[in-house]
Amino acid sequence: AVHDSIRNNWGRIPLLAIRPFGNGKVLFMGTDSAWRWRRGVEDLYHYRFWSQVVRWMAHQRHISQDEGIRLTYTPEKPEIGQTVYLSAIVMDQSGYPLQEGKVVASITTPSGGRETFEMQAEEGGWGVFRASMEARQSGMHIIEVQSPEENRQLETRLEVLRPVVEKIGKPARGDVLDEITRISRGKKVDTTGLDGLIEQISVLPEPKPIEIRFRLWANPFWGAALLGLLAFYWIGRKYFGLV
């Protein structure tokens, strides 16, 4: 969201900006006047806005979780060709972040293929393991993350979308165009007759100017103006004793 009029060298001043950072998101709000939303309605809009912001910011933490393990992925709705980044937080049997151990991820594609790879521990991440995959097929993918040493396992589903491609070369409905031509008393031509259509338009006579007559004598305001002038004239003569 940007300001409707204030600009700088890089464009309009942002009012609301969101960017992923680390394991979460960062939200920047470039105004300190949100408290004005309470005026006359108390917390109706102010509380609703900030409660939705908090829920949305924390949404990623609850995408997929089980006892001792949590998995997040970005983007949440990937398309074919995009890279999906996986991030797993694994706890040991004592409930502390896993420091030394092996975390394996398995991806099952809609066609039945299976890919297994080891997630890499993030240095100083306190039980955070990361990996990435490329979405090559559309459909529902099954992601399994497990830590055999700590007996932690999680399974979730990720849907990869197919990008919508605009259909090119789809034939037009001739019956509909014929009906429009008939109703509008026009003419329909295909791409091969464009030159002839341009010539026909160029030889058309200039349209006659549209004449709009304003009947001044039939306007009640005109009569009222004349009556007012006559009344002013008569009162003036009466005032100066000319009558």
What's the N-to-C CA distance of the chain in angstroms? Answer: 74
**154, 71: one domain:** yes
Amino acid identity of residue 190, one-letter, is: D
d(CA 210, CA 215): 16
The domain boundary, picked from 14, 45, 60, lies at 60
Q: Would 43 be classed as within a structural domain?
A: yes
The alpha carbon of 49 is separated from its chain's Cα centroid by a whole number of angstroms, namely: 18
The reported pLDDT for the residue numbered 167 is 66
Q: Is residue 210 part of a domain?
A: no
Cα(69)–Cα(45) distance, rounded to whole angstroms? Answer: 36
Is 237 inside a domain boundary?
Answer: no
Per-residue pLDDT band for 230 (boundaries 50, 70, 90) equals very high
**Under the phi-then-psi rule, with left for phi > 0, alpha for psi from -120 to 50, and beta for the rest, what region is 141?**
beta
Query: What integer best gives the mean pLDDT of the chain?
Result: 84
- Are 93 and 105 in the same domain? yes
Residue 65: CB atoms within 10 Å: 14
Q: Which domain holds residue 56?
A: 2-60
Q: What is the pLDDT of residue 220?
A: 87
Q: Do both 41 and 86 map to the same domain?
A: no
Interacting residues of 134 by C-beta distance below 8 A, sequence separation 6+: 81, 82, 83, 84
pTM: 0.52
Task: Report the DSSP pairing between strands 24-29 and 64-66.
Answer: unpaired
Least confident of 58-67, 134-143, 201-210, 213-222: 58-67
